[in-house]
Structure 1
Amino acid sequence: MSSDSKNGINRLSAAGLLISLGIIFGDIGTSPLYVFKAIFNQGLIQKDLVFGGLSCVFWTLTLQTTIKYVLITLNADNKGEGGILSLYSLVKRKSKWLIIPAIIGASTLLADGMITPAITISSAIEGLAIYNPNFPTVPIVIAIISLLFLIQRFGTSIVGRLFGPLMLIWFSTIGVLGFSYIGQAPEVLKAINPIYAIETLINHPNALLLIGAIFLCTTGAEALYSDMGHAGKKNIRVSWIFVKIALILNYFGQGAWLIIHEGQAMGEQNPFYAIMPDWFLFCGITIASIAAIIASQAMISGSFTLIAEAVRLNIWPKVTIRYPSDQKGQLYVPSINIILYIGCLIIIAIFQKSVNMEAAYGLAINLTFIATSTLLIFFMLRKRVNKIWIFLFALIYFSIELTFLLGNIVKIKHGGWVTLLLATTIFVIMFAWYKARKIKNKHVRFINIKDYYPIISELSEDRSIPTFASQLVYLTSANAIHEIEAKIIYSILNKKPKRADVYWFVHVDVTDSPHGRNYVVNQLIPNKLIRIDFKLGFREEQKISLLFRKVVEDMVANGEIDITSQYETLKKHKIPGDFNFVVLEKIFTKTSDLSWRDRIIMECYRLLKYFGLSEEKGFGLDSSFVTLERVPLNIPNTENIKINRLS
């Protein structure tokens, strides 16, 4: 039985449906604010383009969102959790190169997290320009976004409880507004026929620009998968029926308004607000602004979760991760909060208006879709799905997504370069960190610990050597029980011999499952040398100091170990001995041995380490009980050194 079944998160319930509305559909649910504005791009309203654009939107939501994500991708759950890094964890053993699409998907999702708040909040607030065309909306957008990022440090669990009901009001509102307007031009319903979409894409002179604009209707589809762990696939699938109906009704209502105004210039008008009755307009702008803030909050929270996963999968530098509330899964990553905030301000400074942001939006998330499709194919292979179905999936969705990519590439010169630059920067950070760790691991030499059992036992009893610590703990990366880094033995025996009553080796294994806290204890030398292997899910907090203490307490309670200090006075009063963690920081002393590519990667790694957390903080160790030792990974040999001795 999967964990989502055990904890009931996958049960269909009213609460689950409300949660889905509140945190899953914010991004895709606010797309009616700007899709038709982007399709017509202030130009003349043409009836053929209304039918063609509507048909494209309808079938994009059907093929891309409903079939690919809701029906197919949600099946690729990792113990109830979703998202591109969860998917990568399921398939990474298939091939080493799959880290590339995983990093592309993660980096483009984060870049999307910078433009989503800017475009959604701007589109909503710009509705005020209906009252006054010269109304300064940019300062209000900046103020709302600043406040949104400011409150992240305090947690959003209280506000989060309101998200579901508020988004229920939003979807109900846009559905009713759209439905009420369809009656004024019912012929708009003919756009359901896919022939209109095909003819428009073939015959429209600016088909690529049109494709890029249409893609905006599905930009939030990835969130359906990324946030699956918060609501469960059944709740997402059922609530999507309501959401899709509301979206389609609103799009078709906007289409009816456009048909009525055929031949006119779109200009600064927004069909989304145009279908609202005058008496409802201010209320509509308010509801839209609230929905835009909720969509932005969902994207920010998703970015925090993504980075926390990336840190534990070793594709992002160790950074401070806080838990501002007791709500399950709520994180706050200060460094990412600042990066996203600065990114949003840059987007607003460059583009000013949502109509300009639309020209840049979609390129990054398009790459996420392609990366997800790539990993999904390997997931299907792992599940032994019929290869004919896998081939059809690849053919259909790579055709659709590569076509969208062609349309979005046109956006590069219109501002898409900004999000592409942001995504590329994040990709370089992730890839450099991942690759640098691989390079370092290649230079780590492991030895058989069994060969050192006698000397470790003797060292522990050698009274001629001062006691370094009663309990001496080393963090090791050795996967095999009887292996240890040569540098750890060097630290114990050669680099100022360290006598201790008990030596501990602690290994942390991040599993492919999102959750789980398990450990295994091996008494290599009974009561002298003990190894603990932690097996932690990639979404679990790595508070090694706390977890280690709990394990030791359990072992003491079970009579497996005695941690009483061996100092005579302390032993007499049965006082526990002190614990000291030794963290070895592996450094390169001679980078000339590396290829030029590896040298560049290691230079990037050094720079990133400067901004990241230290090893002891990254593992949640109390720095007052930590000894940090720097050890060289590659010691220059003396074979080629020539020197003359003078008599």
Structure 2
Amino acid sequence: MTQTTSSGVTAGAAATEQTGHAKGRLPILTLGALGVVYGDIGTSPIYAFRQAMAVRPGAASTEAEVLGLLSLIVWALTATVTIKYIFFVTRADNKGEGGTLSLMSLARSGVAKGGWITALGVLGAALFFGDAIITPAISVLSAVEGVELIAPQLTSWVVPMTVVIIIGLFAVQRFGTAKISIAFGPIMGLWFLTLGISGLIHIIDKPEVLLALNPAYGISFLITHWNIAFVVIGAIFLAITGAEALYVDLGHFGRRPIVIAWFVLVFPCLLLNYFGQGAFVLYHGVGATDNPFFQMHPDWFLLPFVLLATVATVIASQAVITGTYSLAQQAIALNFLPRMTVQHTSDTQSGQIYMPQINAMLMILVLLLVLSFGSSAALSNAYGIAVSGVMLVTGVLLAVVMWRRWNWHPGAVLLVIVPFLLLDGAFFTANASKILQGGWVPAVAALVVAALMWVWIMGRKRLSEKTRRDEVPLEFLVENLSKKKPMTVPGTAVFLTSDIEGAPTALLHSLKHYKVLHEKNVILTVLTSDKPRVPDDEKIRIDAYNDLFYRVVVTFGYMETPNIPKALALARKLGWKFDIMSTSFFLSRRSLKSSPKGGMPLFLDKIFIGLARNATDATEYFHIPTGRVVEIGTQVVI
């Protein structure tokens, strides 16, 4: 066979294409990151300090105890978000992309046998899906509950108003992250400035609150309240939820805008607000403040502030929603989930996408949570176990990347990672203790997603083995056809197949029924790289068997949406004259039937078949013109 390769894309252009982020758009990207990435962690002050104060009646009745709780929040933010995520995790990007599956791909490429790494990646991705259904529910509910301070008679309207807001939030997702972030960025900028200023005002009234910067207060609190230490840690964890979305949304904006937004505005304003809440409690007394976040504002400002908080919490949900889109797209490309529709919503930002099926499922589950729990206090028990699980998985995968990809000495890896793992382990254990109080919700959601991924992976493996046994080796078929050439017709036929070695089923059935060949026959296989994007000069490989048959392998990155006509147009650089109007695409449409003698239990076979039937049509997924497609049905018993 003659192999042809192409070139012509400069390194600079390839780098720009891979990352998808234009340097000249830094201010816009930073503003967008402020609105999308930090919405979740930016609204944590609404409920985090309040829940920490309420872990046990009388547990924070003295100044030292209030300072202790505040110190734990401040240092949790510093250690987890600033040190772990900003300084380490965001550097572990896979060609500009972040998230558990991206980190898994990076770690797996440096390990010979990475089955356990794949399992960790699947678990981390599933846990993030569990988090994604909790965050919008608790964020919006906690803000709308501020209405109760203004008009107690509206308490019964909190849940209906929350439902309307959530429906509106998911309805605008189709317009894309770029358009949404243009509106969200300035609003969140105003939100963070308001948090910082309101906190600073109360710090001036009680500057002793700054003593909480001393971590000894936090350590002392845990020692003297050892019997409720895990409950306290679980409440403190609410202050750092959203850090996991920071990494998942890396591909939407890039590392630099995310880092700038954190240090310039987000981190300082969060610290000022938490210190301000602590100062307000110390100044007015613990018993007089059951909701310091809202009570620390004057009456005349309360209504506009509740409205601003409501808008901010709607925006807070955006971080996990966009993160879920990115994670689902990666899972599909890595064959962890069946095909789903992926719509790109930006001409300049390659990572900004919208997935209608994921959007609809998220909305339904979030609404069910709001209607079931009814309050942010009840939902706080369900919040945390999925997020802390994601952070724990991220820490383990980061250790592998440090060791195998960054070539760190094992001692240095342990020195950095062990403290993070101990901290993440403490957070996970604390949240796991709330499993019966609501923590089971995200845990069950994560287990269901992980189980579906496992069924899909094993089902695909079983299907591949089954079809490979039934297929004819491609080289054997080509050799026989070259000796006894059938009748040929003008044009090009492209046969899609996932098996590089075997002859496509559609080709065999076409020969059986039509007994003709086209002038040019292309055996096309689409592969997914462990890189997020593949440069044009590495995307196409053409092997010529003879004048009749060509083998074409197209490789897409796991963050790219496969577009076969565009990819084949690149083949013109290789000398292949591709004309879409004289080309027919032959696809095999498999009708799957379960068998008691299959490789999986019968009920799992039925789940896999159900997933396959509901997958997005290959014609739509690969962007093939419907008028050029011929589908040939086959029945496969698995």
Cα deviations by residue, 1:492-550 (Å, 9 ceiling, x for unpaired): 555664422221111111112212354334342343101211111111111224533x2
Q: 2:274 aligns with which of 251, 256, 271?
A: 251
Counting aligned pairs with the same residue, the percent is: 32
Q: Which residue of 2 aligns with 1:453?
A: 478
Cα deviations by residue, 1:203-233 (Å, 9 ceiling, x for unpaired): 3232221111111111111122112233332
Q: 2:363 aligns with which of 341, 344, 347?
A: 341
Q: Which residue of 2 aligns with 1:218?
A: 240
1:622/1:458 CA distance change after superposition, 3 Å: farther
Q: Which residue of 1 aligns with 2:615?
A: 612
The answer as to 2:49 corresponding to 1:32 is no
The answer (yes or no) to whether the contact 2:248–2:326 under 8 Å persists in 1 is no
1:427/1:218 CA distance change after superposition, 3 Å: same
In 2, distance between residues paired with 1:322 and 1:7?
16
1:458/1:473 CA distance change after superposition, 3 Å: farther
Does the residue aligned with 1:506 lie in a helix, a strand or coil?
strand
In 2, distance between residues paired with 1:8 and 1:308?
19
Does the residue aligned with 1:134 lie in a helix, a strand or coil?
helix
The answer (yes or no) to whether the contact 1:11–1:235 under 8 Å persists in 2 is no
The answer (yes or no) to whether the contact 1:16–1:235 under 8 Å persists in 2 is yes
Q: Which residue of 2 aligns with 1:645?
A: none
CA shift for structure 1 position 592 = 0.6
The answer (yes or no) to whether the contact 1:491–1:497 under 8 Å persists in 2 is no
In 2, distance between residues paired with 1:459 and 1:46?
92
Q: 1:71 aligns with which of 60, 83, 87?
A: 87
In 1, distance between residues paired with 2:222 and 2:296?
27
In 2, distance between residues paired with 1:580 and 1:11?
41
1:377/1:200 CA distance change after superposition, 3 Å: same
The answer as to 2:103 corresponding to 1:80 is no
Does the residue aligned with 2:142 lie in a helix, a strand or coil?
helix
Q: Which residue of 1 aligns with 2:498?
A: 477
Letter in 2 for 1:449: L
Does the residue aligned with 1:260 lie in a helix, a strand or coil?
helix
The answer as to 2:487 corresponding to 1:462 is yes
The answer as to 2:153 corresponding to 1:126 is no
Q: Which residue of 1 aligns with 2:183?
A: 162
1:498/1:92 CA distance change after superposition, 3 Å: farther
Q: 2:220 aligns with which of 199, 211, 215?
A: 199
Q: Pick 1 or 2: higher relative contact order, CA cutoff 8 A, min separation 6.
A: 2
Structure 2: runs of 5 or more not aligned = 1-11
The more displaced of 611-620 and 99-108 is 611-620
Letter in 2 for 1:181: H
In 2, distance between residues paired with 1:186 and 1:563?
74
Q: Which residue of 2 aligns with 1:303?
A: 324
Q: 1:627 aligns with which of 592, 614, 630?
A: 630
In 2, distance between residues paired with 1:577 and 1:457?
23
Does the residue aligned with 2:152 lie in a helix, a strand or coil?
coil
Q: Mapping of 1:109-148 within 5 angstroms?
A: 109-135=128-154, 136-148=157-169
Q: 2:544 aligns with which of 524, 549, 567?
A: 524
1:355/1:438 CA distance change after superposition, 3 Å: same
Name the TM-score, length of structure 2 as normaliser: 0.88
Cα deviations by residue, 1:136-168 (Å, 9 ceiling, x for unpaired): 211111111111112223435434212222211
In 1, distance between residues paired with 2:578 and 2:187?
57
In 1, distance between residues paired with 2:494 and 2:615?
23
1:233/1:263 CA distance change after superposition, 3 Å: closer
The answer (yes or no) to whether the contact 1:12–1:234 under 8 Å persists in 2 is no
1:513/1:626 CA distance change after superposition, 3 Å: same
Letter in 2 for 1:295: A
The more displaced of 140-149 and 130-139 is 130-139
Q: Which residue of 2 aligns with 1:51?
A: 67
Does the residue aligned with 1:195 lie in a helix, a strand or coil?
helix
Q: Mapping of 1:423-462 within 5 angstroms?
A: 423-443=446-466, 444-445=468-469, 448-457=473-482, 460-462=485-487
Q: Which residue of 1 aligns with 2:108?
A: 92
In 2, distance between residues paired with 1:439 and 1:381?
34
Does the residue aligned with 2:590 lie in a helix, a strand or coil?
strand
In 1, distance between residues paired with 2:552 and 2:586?
14
Letter in 2 for 1:110: F
Q: Which residue of 2 aligns with 1:370?
A: 392
Q: 2:444 aligns with which of 410, 421, 442?
A: 421
Q: Which residue of 2 aligns with 1:568?
A: none
Letter in 1 for 2:213: I
CA shift for structure 1 position 385 = 0.8
Letter in 2 for 1:336: I
Q: Which residue of 1 aligns with 2:173?
A: 152
Cα deviations by residue, 1:245-301 (Å, 9 ceiling, x for unpaired): 1111100110111223435165xx321112112222222212212211111123212
Does the residue aligned with 2:344 lie in a helix, a strand or coil?
coil
Q: How many residues align?
A: 609
CA shift for structure 1 position 608 = 1.3
Structure 1: runs of 5 or more not aligned = 565-575, 636-647
The answer (yes or no) to whether the contact 1:257–1:271 under 8 Å persists in 2 is yes
Q: 1:539 aligns with which of 549, 559, 563?
A: 559
